[in-house]
A and B are shown apart, each in its own frame.
Chain A
Amino acid sequence: MKKSLVSIGVAITVALSAQFAHAETKIGAIFDLTGGLNIYGIQQNNALQLAVENINANGGVLGEPIEVVTYDAQSELSKYTQFANTALLRDHIDALFAGLTSSSREAIRPIVRKGNVPYFYASLYEGGACDKQTFVTGSTASQQLSVLIEWAVNKYGKKIYIMAPDYNFGTISAHWIHEYAKQNGAEVVGEDFLSLAVTDYAPTIQKIQASKPDFVVALPVGANQTGFLEQFSAAGLKDKIGLVSTNYGSGNQQVVVSPAAGEGLITNQGYFMHVDNPTNAKFVELWTAKYGNDTPIVSVAVDTWNAVNLWAAAVNKAGKADAGDVIAALESGLTFDAPNGTVTLEPGSHHLRQNIYIVEGDDNHGFKTVETFTDVIPSYEREKCDLIANPTLAKHFTPDDK
C-alpha cells in the first residue's frame, strides 16, 4: 500500500509535469486519494493510470499518448465541484473520470453538462442517472438485485429482512428489494435503515430475530457498518439466517471481517478479482506488476479501467476528441473485452450491459463464485432513460417518482 501511494505521488508529479509533452488528448481524474473514501479512490486512480499506460504503450489514441491530470478530492464533496470546474475551465480536458459517491456524481453532472465534456462514473450505485454527457460503467442496484433476490429466494426462502444505510443508495436499493421480492412471491418482513456512524448493531440484530426472516439483505457501507457482519455472526444468526449483499466486498470488507464471520456470506457485483477468464488474468498480472498484490482489486477499479478503454475506443472510432463526435461514437453500441467479461455500452441508457457474479465468502478472506449471470441488462435505466430518442434528457430517475 505504501508502494502504491508513492507511485500515485509519482504519477501525479509526472502528470503535472507532463504539460510540455505533446499530447492529442487530455483526461481529468478526480478521485478520493485521501480521507475516508480512499479505500475506493486509490484503486480507481490506480486503474485509470494503468489503463492510460497500457493504451499509451499500445500506440495511444489518435496516434498520440493520452495525458492525465489528477486531482485529489480528499473525500470532500466541495472538492469535486471545485476540481471539476478547474479540470474543464483551466485544464481543458477532453473527458472526465471522477467520483465514487452518488453525491459526488450529482455535484459533477451539471458542470460537465454545461461544459459538454464526456463524463465517466465508475462505481456501483443506486441507478437512474441519465444525461447526454454521463456514462456509467458500474453496475446499478436493480441490475445486481434482480439476479440476487431471485437467487436468494430460491436458496433460503420467502421472508426477507433489509439492513441498509440511511441515504439514497440504501433507500433506493430497498425499493428494488421490495419490487423483486414481489416478483418472486416473497415478502419483506422488516427493514432497518442505519446512519453511517452507527457501531452498535444489537438493536438491529434483535429486530431481525423478532421478525424471523429466511435471509437478510445487508448493504453495509463504510468501515463501521462492516461491524454489523461481525456482530450478526457472533450472535449466532449466521447459521440460521442467510445473509446476502450487493456491496459487501466492494471495498475489500472481506479482508477486514474475520474468516469466522465472513465465511458463507453471499454477495454479488460486476467483478471479483478471482473471476476466471484470460482477459482478467492479463489484467491482474499488469496490476500486480505495478501495484503489488497486498490488496485485492475491487470492482470500482475494473469499472474505471473499462471506462478509460471505452472512451479511448470511442475517440479512435470518432477520429477526433470533440465531445459531440465522441459521445456519438460512445452511443454506437461499443463492446469491450473487459476483465469482468464482455461489456456493452447501451446507446440509449449510457449504462453497461455486463456480467453479474454471485459469490460466497470463503474461510480465508476471499470469495468463490457460486453463479455467473452473463450480460445482465440495466433494465430500469433502459426503461426510463433513452438518450437517443430524447437527447436533452437530464435527470436522476428514482423509482418513487412517476
Chain B
Amino acid sequence: MELDYLATVLLSSLASASILLIATIGLAVVFGLMGVINLAHGEFLMIGAYAALTTTKLGIPYILSIPVAVLITMAIGAVVEILVIRRLYGRIFDTMLATWGISMAFLQLAVLIFGTVTPGIGMPQYNFQIGDYSLAGYPILMIGVAALMMAFVYFLMTKTVYGMKARASIQEPEMARAIGIQSARVNTMTFAIGCGLAGFAGAVLLPIVPATPSMGSVFVIKAFLTVVVAGPVTLTGSALAAIGLGGGASVTASFLTSVAGDAFFFLITATLLWLYPLGISAKWRWKM
C-alpha cells in the first residue's frame, strides 16, 4: 500500500467521522440533557439546509446564511418543545412516537413548499493533492468545523449560567427547582439549542449533501446509533463514537467495498451495545 493512498484514506476518514459528528451533536445534546430522543432531528437538519439554501438564493453570502439557518431552526425547535415535547416529559417512547410524527409532517411540508427538486449551491471547487491523489477541500474543512462545534458546546455547557442550569435541571431536577431554576424554560432552551445545532449541521453540510425533503432520514439513523453507543457523556462520548464508527466505516469502505463499510458500522454498533448496553461512556467519571 502506497503511503499517499494511506494518508488520503486517513484524512478523508477523519473528515467522514467529523461529518457524522456534526450531524450528531444536536441529537446528543437533547438526549444527554433532556433524556429526549428527537426522531425529528434529521428534519431539523433538513430545515437548516433549506433555510441556508433559501437565504443564499436571496443573495446573502453562504457563510452568513448559516447563522440565519440556526436561528430559524432554534425558533421552530422552541415551538415544537412548547407545543409537544414538554407535555411528554419522562415518557420516552411517547416522545419518540411524537417526534417521529413531527418528522413525517415536516418532510411532507418541505415537499409542498419546495417541491421535490431544488437547485443546490454546489461544493466549492477547491481541491489539493497528496501524491497521486486529489482530495476535495470542503469535506476536509469539516474536521475543523466539528472541533469548533465541540468547543462551543463545551463552553456553553460548562462556562455559562444557562449551561449550569441545564445540567442542574437534568442531574438534580427537584433541587434545581427548589433553588429557583425554571426547568421548563431551561428545557425549552436546551431543545431549541439541539435543533439549532441540527440546523447548523444542515447548513454547513449543504455543499456536501444537497437539500432534499428526505435528506434527514440518511443522517438520523447513524446519528441516533452514534448517540446510543456514546451513552451519557454527551460530548466526549459522541466524539469517540463518531470517530470510531464513522471513521472506521470509511476506512473499511476505502479498503474493501462501500457495503463492507456500512456492515462495519452496524456490526460494531451491535457489538458495542452488547458489551456496553448503556453506552461506552456509562462508567466514565467526567460529565461532558
In chain A, positions 248-276 with a C-beta closer than 8 Å to chain B are 251-253, 255-261
A34 with B5: in contact, given A230-B122, A235-B134 (CB under 8 Å)? no
B78 to chain A, nearest CB (A): 27
Contact of B5 among A202, A206, A258 (CB under 8 A): A206
What residues of chain B lie closer than 8 Å to A194, measured between beta carbons? 258-259
Contact across chains for B139 and A231 when beta carbons are under 8 A apart: yes
Please, how many angstroms separate the alpha-carbon atoms of A34 and B115 in the complex? 11
Contact across chains for B254 and A207 when beta carbons are under 8 A apart: yes
Contact across chains for B117 and A252 when beta carbons are under 8 A apart: yes
Q: Does B209 contact A (CB under 8 A)?
A: yes
In chain A, positions 30-49 with a C-beta closer than 8 Å to chain B are 34-36, 38-39, 42
- CB-CB contacts of A1-20 with B at 8 A, as 1s and 0s? 11001000000000000000
B115 and chain A: residue at smallest CB distance:
A1
B65 to chain A, nearest CB (A): 15
What residues of chain A lie closer than 8 Å to B134, measured between beta carbons? 209, 235-237
Pick out which of these stretches binds chain B: A82-90, A122-130, A219-227: A219-227
B11 to chain A, nearest CB (A): 9
Contact across chains for B250 and A200 when beta carbons are under 8 A apart: yes
Contact across chains for A203 and B261 when beta carbons are under 8 A apart: yes
Contact across chains for A260 and B122 when beta carbons are under 8 A apart: yes
Contact across chains for A234 and B125 when beta carbons are under 8 A apart: yes
What residues of chain A lie closer than 8 Å to B15, measured between beta carbons? 202
A204 with B127: in contact, given A234-B138, A235-B136 (CB under 8 Å)? no
Contact across chains for A294 and B115 when beta carbons are under 8 A apart: yes
Please, how many angstroms separate the alpha-carbon atoms of A98 and B21 in the complex? 41
Please, how many angstroms separate the alpha-carbon atoms of A231 and B9 in the complex? 15
What residues of chain B lie closer than 8 Å to A294, measured between beta carbons? 115
The interface size bin for chain A is 35 or more
A340 to chain B, nearest CB (A): 21
Contact across chains for A206 and B254 when beta carbons are under 8 A apart: yes
Q: Does B210 contact A (CB under 8 A)?
A: yes
Contact of B117 among A35, A200, A204, A256 (CB under 8 A): A256
Pick out which of these stretches binds chain A: B143-151, B211-219, B267-275: B211-219
In chain B, positions 100-119 with a C-beta closer than 8 Å to chain A are 108, 111-119
A195 with B5: in contact, given A38-B116, A224-B215 (CB under 8 Å)? no
Q: Does A295 contact B (CB under 8 A)?
A: yes
- CB-CB contacts of B1-40 with A at 8 A, as 1s and 0s? 0000100110011011001000000000000000000000
Q: Does A289 contact B (CB under 8 A)?
A: no
Q: Does A53 contact B (CB under 8 A)?
A: no
Contact across chains for B261 and A256 when beta carbons are under 8 A apart: no
Contact across chains for B136 and A193 when beta carbons are under 8 A apart: no
Contact across chains for A202 and B258 when beta carbons are under 8 A apart: no
Q: Does A197 contact B (CB under 8 A)?
A: yes
Contact of B121 among A197, A199, A227, A258 (CB under 8 A): A258
Please, how many angstroms separate the alpha-carbon atoms of A193 and B139 in the complex? 22
Please, how many angstroms separate the alpha-carbon atoms of A195 and B261 in the complex? 10
What residues of chain B lie closer than 8 Å to A91, measured between beta carbons? none
A199 with B218: in contact, given A192-B258, A230-B210, A260-B122 (CB under 8 Å)? yes
Contact across chains for B214 and A258 when beta carbons are under 8 A apart: no
Please, how many angstroms separate the alpha-carbon atoms of A370 and B250 in the complex? 37
Q: Does A101 contact B (CB under 8 A)?
A: no
Contact across chains for B259 and A202 when beta carbons are under 8 A apart: no
A162 to chain B, nearest CB (A): 12
Q: Does B173 contact A (CB under 8 A)?
A: no
A261 with B112: in contact, given A199-B209, A235-B127 (CB under 8 Å)? no
Please, how many angstroms separate the alpha-carbon atoms of A294 and B118 in the complex? 10
Contact across chains for B116 and A1 when beta carbons are under 8 A apart: yes
Interface centre among B113, B116, B134, B138 (most CB of A within 10 A): B116
B121 and chain A: residue at smallest CB distance:
A258
Q: Does B152 contact A (CB under 8 A)?
A: no
What residues of chain B lie closer than 8 Å to A209, measured between beta carbons? 132-134
Q: Does A198 contact B (CB under 8 A)?
A: yes
Contact of A206 among B8, B108, B210 (CB under 8 A): B8
Contact across chains for B118 and A255 when beta carbons are under 8 A apart: yes
Q: Does B126 contact A (CB under 8 A)?
A: yes
- CB-CB contacts of B253-288 with A at 8 A, as 1s and 0s? 110011101100000000000000000000000000
Contact of A230 among B12, B112, B207, B218 (CB under 8 A): B207
Contact across chains for B117 and A255 when beta carbons are under 8 A apart: yes
- CB-CB contacts of B166-205 with A at 8 A, as 1s and 0s? 0000000000000000000000000000000000000000
What residues of chain B lie closer than 8 Å to A226, measured between beta carbons? 210
Q: Does B75 contact A (CB under 8 A)?
A: no
B215 and chain A: residue at smallest CB distance:
A223
What residues of chain A lie closer than 8 Å to B259, measured between beta carbons? 166, 193-195
Q: Does A178 contact B (CB under 8 A)?
A: no
Contact of B212 among A195, A206, A256 (CB under 8 A): A256
B9 and chain A: residue at smallest CB distance:
A206
Q: Does A233 contact B (CB under 8 A)?
A: yes
Q: Does A57 contact B (CB under 8 A)?
A: no
- CB-CB contacts of B34-49 with A at 8 A, as 1s and 0s? 0000000000000000
Q: Does B123 contact A (CB under 8 A)?
A: yes
Q: Does B120 contact A (CB under 8 A)?
A: yes
Please, how many angstroms separate the alpha-carbon atoms of A294 and B114 in the complex? 11
A231 with B258: in contact, given A202-B12, A237-B134 (CB under 8 Å)? no
Q: Does B90 contact A (CB under 8 A)?
A: no
A165 to chain B, nearest CB (A): 10
Please, how many angstroms separate the alpha-carbon atoms of A2 and B110 in the complex? 11
Q: Does A21 contact B (CB under 8 A)?
A: no
Contact across chains for B5 and A39 when beta carbons are under 8 A apart: no
B123 to chain A, nearest CB (A): 4
Interface centre among B113, B118, B137, B253 (most CB of A within 10 A): B253
Contact across chains for B125 and A203 when beta carbons are under 8 A apart: no
B210 and chain A: residue at smallest CB distance:
A256
A sample of 16 cross-chain residue pairs with beta-carbon separation below 8 angstroms, ordered by A number, consists of: A1-B115, A2-B115, A36-B217, A39-B117, A166-B259, A199-B208, A200-B16, A202-B250, A202-B254, A203-B250, A204-B258, A206-B133, A209-B133, A230-B207, A294-B115, A295-B116
> When A and B form their complex, which 9 residue pairs have the shortest distance between CB atoms, in order from nearest?
A258-B122, A1-B115, A202-B12, A234-B136, A203-B253, A223-B212, A234-B123, A203-B254, A236-B127
